[in-house]
Structure 1
Amino acid sequence: MAKAIVPLLKKQRSGSIIQIVSMSGWIAQPEFVPYSTTKGVVLQMTRNLALDLGPFNIQYNAICPDTILTSATNNHAAHLKLTIDEFAIEEGNNTMFKTIGFTSRDS
């Protein structure tokens, strides 16, 4: 996406790109090596492009959502030997707002 749009944004000397990354780009998790690695790469790409594109008045940012309910979440909870409800409470207690519960991307 960046490869396709950046030349156009440079030409107009303005724009904004927002990447959806993941908290897994920031933190380590057990048995998440491939996922966390790819998210870390996208996060670093975002940082570098923000620096490179800033002089062209182009903003390049990332949104890093925390845990959402997916099949990977269910697998991770099972790996930790927690029910999904127990996992939701534990994850919720680790957030700054102490929220409990998930929003499913499938709903």
Structure 2
Amino acid sequence: MSKRLQNKVALVTGAASGIGFACAKRFAEEGAAVVGLDLKASEHWDEIASLTNNNLFIEADVTSLAAQQAVVAQAVETFGSLDALVTSAGIGDAGPVHMVDEDAWRHVININLNGTFFSTKAVLPQMMEQRSGSIVTIASCEGVVATEGGSSYNASKAGVVNLSKNIAIDYGRMGIRCNALCPGFIETPMFDSVLNQDFMKEVKADIMAQTKLGRFGEPVEMANVALFLASEEASFVTGQAIVADGGYIAGHSHGIVEMMGLT
């Protein structure tokens, strides 16, 4: 059976760890030539190299349009095309509005939203020339339904969701699809840095309680969704915010069904 991304070329930002690395690995497993982009090289990138000789890891800053355009040019020169983009680079800083200083706000917006804008802007000319391509932006369930204290992060991810819809509207006529993947709480280095602090124990437990599957997600589970969206299996899927959060934003639980014996 042929692999789902055989003869395809995929660019993954934030590819050194977490969801980005998981996407790069899954895409390589499914036959793609993979170009990974991050601020510094991944100590785990050898896992990608063991799956395919068709791979590059390039150190670049997603907040620089010129840097991303150079990465795209190198990818196309090396592999001849660019068929998929996953924009996984991001950070998780936030707070209530009156407590977020201007520099912190700009930093989150610059990486999460501007970085995604620059990534898509860099790949679109090649995809327009090909008249094909799939863009998977990594947003968040918190870009669909906000959570307390998340002003800058939630705003940045909501921006990614609507940016993705605009790309789908504007470029669908050229055979280019764009969807926002909106993860819930996934066990990544960013998750660890925020929720595994001692003072966050009760918050972490409450988030777990509101995640209807009763566990946090794994990066590979997000990579599997991204793989579907990048593949021809999703050929009629575009302009969507695909939430993969274990049911976190499905609604509220108050213990009522447990009182009725559902355990």
- Tell me whether 1:102 sits opposite 2:199 in the alignment: no
Aligned residues: 96
Residue of structure 2 aligned with 1:54, choices 161, 172, 191: 172
Query: Which residue of the partner structure matches residue 123 of structure 2?
Result: 5
CA deviations over 1:54-101 (Å, ceiling 9, x no partner): 0101001111011124133346x83xx7263x3254222xxxxx3112
Question: 2:92 maps to which residue?
Answer: none
TM-score (norm: length of structure 2): 0.33
Answer whether contact 1:88 1:101 (CA < 8 A) is retained: no
Name 1:87's counterpart in structure 2.
Answer: 206
With CA pairs under 8 Å and 6+ residues apart, which has the higher RCO, 1 or 2? 1
Task: Tell me by how many angstroms 1:103 deviates.
Answer: 4.1
Root-mean-square deviation over aligned CA pairs: 2.2
| Change in 2 beyond 3 A, CA 1:90/1:58 | same
Q: CA deviation at 1:25?
A: 0.5
What residue in structure 1 maps to residue 76 of structure 2?
none
Letter in 2 for 1:72: V
- For the pair 1:73 / 2:192, whether they are aligned, the reply is no
Distance of 1:57 and 1:64 partners within structure 2: 23
* 1:21 corresponds to which of 139, 142, 148: 139
Instruction: Give, in whole Å, the separation in 2 of the partners of 1:22 and 1:28.
Output: 10
Q: For the Cα contact (< 8 Å) 2:184–2:217, is it kept in 1?
A: no
Q: Which structure has the bigger radius of gyration?
A: 2
CA 1:104 to 1:60, structure 2 compared with 1: closer, same or farther past 3 Å?
Answer: closer
Aligned to 2:150: 32
Greater share of residues in helix: 1
Q: Quote the residue 1:95 is aligned against.
A: none
Structure 1 consecutive aligned stretches of length 4 or more whose deviation exceeds 4 Å: none
Mapped to 1, the partners of 2:147 and 2:203 lie a distance apart of 18
Identity of aligned residues (%): 32
Distance 1:88 1:25, change over 3 A: closer
CA distance in 1, matches of 2:163, 2:194: 24
Q: Secondary structure at the residue paired with 2:129?
A: helix
Q: 2:131 touches 2:176 (CA, 8 Å); kept in 1?
A: yes
SS at match of 1:64: strand
Unaligned runs of 5+ in 1: 93-97
Query: Counterparts of 1:26 and 1:63 in 2: how far apart (Å)?
Result: 11
Structure 1 SS opposite 2:202? coil
Deviates more, 1:28-37 or 1:61-70: 61-70
AA aligned opposite 1:32: G
1:26 and 1:14, CA in 2 relative to 1: closer, same or farther beyond 3 A?
A: same
Call closer, same or farther: CA 1:18–1:83 in 2, change over 3 Å: closer
